[in-house]
Amino acid sequence: MNLEQLIRDVPDFPKKGIIFKDITPLVGSPEGFREVINLLRQRYEERRIERVVAVESRGFIFGATLAYALGAGFVPVRKPGKLPAATIREEYALEYGTDAVEIHRDAIQPGQKVLVIDDLLATGGTLAATCNLVRKLGGEIVEVATLIELTFLHGRAKLGDLPYYTILQAG
């Protein structure tokens, strides 16, 4: 199956000069969505993943479904102020200013095997911050995975030596 055909480029969204990778046609396709989840399940089913950590909001689509398929717990990482219980926060740099993500303090136990997932790796700031949160809680990151990597933005470099996997690359 050609998954790239199920991803729509939307020019000038959310602002002029950006080409947004719209995954809604892919997740709206039963065959396409099943193919992505099956590829990821097959990759991780023997790795004893205990927690799938996913980044708000499109990462939740893949993270929750994959956690279910693997028999693992799902852990949401959200923008500040969106989680109801005690959290820890990690700030990261943007082109202009900073942003932050949070995770519940009790979401991961020390030594648990964790898969970190999002829909897309662009500049890498959000995923790197998410990995820092997992490390602060003592989780063992098995791998970082995305559906799409925008290679021209070199976001993989922000992940350091963490194992990384992507299904599709766009350059």
* Active-site residue list: 58, 95
- How large is the angle between the packed helices 30-44 and 58-70, nearest 10 degrees? 60
Would residue 9 be called left, alpha or beta, if left means φ above 0 and alpha means ψ between -120 and 50 degrees?
beta
Give the residue among 108, 74, 72 at the shortest CA–CA distance from 88: 108
Beta-sheet strands, E only, within the chain: 8-11, 19-22, 51-55, 73-77, 87-93, 98-104, 113-121, 140-150, 164-170
